[in-house]
A and B are shown apart, each in its own frame.
Chain A
């Protein structure tokens, strides 16, 4: 009986220890990762970059403002239901921010984080109109979003065609999901403005490895350009099919979620010349890597052993962590305390000012555009540049400077969408 009680006590103690939230003074920043499932090849590098940046801050600086950052990881498999479960299970640990790395999950969490008063950060994904801080008090998507991406692609193509797209044809090949459908409205408006013909070609996520119908259509219609909004296996399959039907790679341009190494590797040399947008750099030629090497990699602390260091998606995870860390830092400054709450971190996100000088201080010179947010603007500058894949060097090379989006078209669309959301949900506009 005694033995049984001891065992029971030990089991209870273990369970309590496992379920216990981080020490009250720690700042909890969960990592909604997906290292398994159909999108694992994309999710793992992102999660590693996110982890490694916070490991660097903890190891080098003792955290942020002396507060250690705890990064509990929750596996979502890029599945919306699992993502919501992750949110519910992590909520008890008092996270100061939520970053779900999935548009589907982000959409589901918008009402939840608003009710629970936890800021949600969705850089380059999620609900585009969340940029409107008057309506979406708890959501931030700086530095850019899907609609910005669509307009930057068109701006780039305008430059390629001497400022005139009149009479040109552009096909949008998109993941038939909340994410893939995001740019449609923007591109429709831009087609009216610039006179190009837009063809929308969906690819079902369930059969995105087999895109013969879509590429036979592209071969028949011969659009001048193909804009790719793909994710997961859809990207390598699209690039391979483009090579198969001999569609020129230089005439394809992907959103940033279609512009990583995992997207072009399978097609090998045939992917040479493929272009994609990017809102941050990649590779290890940034001063921050000296610190990462000294404080993280050489100590054997790299996430998962560091198989993805320097890749595009690793860099994106690192960028997300960097912006989050700066928001926490700003929150500490505004609140006058280091042990900030989620609500105070929201204030930090709303007062972000990551200038080029600050980026240089962080060892990230020319890594990404500066970010400045405000009560009204949760989306930042919206800037992105175009990079091109060099298959022989196995490297993405930036080929343009950072472009500004076409705000003349996008701003009214965002306002219309966010105000409709405010009306549906009885939200009073802020920032008056």
Chain B
């Protein structure tokens, strides 16, 4: 019985962790869906967004180190702080600005190129943004506080204790992540289904040439999609940054999104969520039952094994579009 309760706790926490993975995977799906580009820079976008948010919140002078090196002036801070909500809005604007720049400086020049060329461009973008983030805001570890609660939920612990005689651990941050992810997914689905821009985005995803022929601006759609992906990256950056601080490693959360995408499909928003949940639960249960027999630390590779197993039976992922090519 005790073992079953522990396993149930692991499952619940696996689901919560899966939501955190899905938050990262969503950004990949959005860009892939609209442009067929696998955006290698999505993890770095999350890092860049989180660094910018903290910089704005704390009134940090961007490029302070560079300014100091060139002019000799030490300007670390503007001397003010910005409330969290306003800082989030300003960061979202920065991400829109970044999307405009990416479109103008990179994507515009690659229209009509093979997807692999666009993928390579996003690799370059990832490394550039990594360096830019460091240069703008510094490489030290930063604490991100936007008022999200964190730590054991006493309500859940007390409730489960009175029901089962064992108090479950659930992180309050994970509960918030679940709520935020649900709102985000609902908003994205509503946007793509019921707005003119959303429909235009889907049209571009279906066929670039056909969309262009009916007067849809490819450039506008790309800016819009990269802006939304930037906003999703900001949300992911906030959740993961609150969890373990903001530093370079935040960009590596993209690695946790890959098996989620393989499993859920690259083109489905609900697929990202379901994929995240399956990966989260699968890796946690495997670690719980099998981990101790094989020395532990299985989660990193098992997520990929699970994704590969699904791929064998459904190559397009659970919710991905089935590709039928006739010869």
Contact = CB atoms under 8 A, between A and B. Distances in A.
- Chain B associates with chain A: yes
Contacts of A304: 65
A41 interface: yes
Interface string B1-27: 000001001100100010010000000
Nearest to B68: A305
A207 B20 CA distance: 13
B134 A40 contact: yes
B119 interface: no
A225 interface: no
A202 interface: yes
**Closest 10 CB pairs between A and B?**
A266-B245, A233-B249, A202-B297, A237-B244, A204-B297, A204-B300, A206-B300, A40-B139, A262-B141, A176-B297
B299 A213 contact: yes
B140 A262 contact: yes
Contact of B145 (A35, A202, A268): A268
Interface stretch (B252-260, B269-277, B307-315): B252-260
B256 A210 contact: yes
Interface of B: 6, 9-10, 13, 17, 20, 65, 68-69, 72, 74, 130-131, 134, 138-145, 150-152, 169, 171, 240, 243-250, 252-253, 255-256, 284, 287-288, 291, 295-297, 299-301
Interface in A187-218: 200-204, 206-210, 212-213, 216
Contact of B248 (A38, A202, A206, A246): A38
A83 to B, nearest CB: 18
B256 A36 contact: no
A284 interface: no
B152 A244 contact: yes
A268 B143 contact: yes
Given A204-B297, A268-B143, A41 B240 contact: no
A124 interface: no
A38 B252 contact: yes
Contact of A40 (B65, B142, B248, B297): B248
Contacts of A36: 130-131, 134, 139, 248
A220 interface: yes
Contacts of B256: 207, 210
Nearest to A232: B249
A223 to B, nearest CB: 15
B171 to A, nearest CB: 5
Contacts of A300: 72
A41 B248 contact: yes
B152 A213 contact: no
| Interface SS majority for chain A | mixed
Nearest to A40: B139
Interface in A160-204: 176, 200-204
Contacts of A203: 297
- Most A CB contacts (10 A, CB to CB) among B20, B143, B246, B255 go to B143
A44 B143 CA distance: 18
A31 interface: no
Contacts, number: 123
A37 interface: yes
A357 B150 CA distance: 49
B169 A219 contact: yes
Contacts of B140: 41, 44, 262, 307-308
A201 to B, nearest CB: 6
A244 B300 CA distance: 22
A231 to B, nearest CB: 11
Given A41-B139, A209-B252, A266-B245, A307 B299 contact: no
B288 A213 contact: yes
Contacts of B150: 240, 244
B142 to A, nearest CB: 8
Contacts of A243: 151
A94 interface: no
A11 interface: no
A171 to B, nearest CB: 12
A265 interface: yes
Nearest to B244: A237
B255 to A, nearest CB: 6
Contact of A245 (B131, B169, B253, B299): B169
B139 A44 contact: yes
B21 to A, nearest CB: 9
A100 interface: no
A51 to B, nearest CB: 15
Interface string A212-252: 11001001100000000000110011001001111000000
A266 B13 contact: no
A210 B131 CA distance: 25
Contacts of A305: 65, 68-69, 74
B11 to A, nearest CB: 11
Given A240-B243, A266-B143, A213 B248 contact: no
Interface string A122-142: 000000000000000000000
B174 to A, nearest CB: 9
B299 A209 contact: no
B169 A216 contact: yes
5 contacts: A41-B140, A176-B297, A207-B299, A262-B141, A300-B72
A92 B131 CA distance: 29
Nearest to A35: B139
A237 B252 CA distance: 14
A321 B156 CA distance: 52
B151 A40 contact: no
A202 B295 contact: yes
Given A176-B297, A210-B256, A307-B65, A240 B244 contact: yes
Contact of B17 (A201, A202, A212, A240): A212
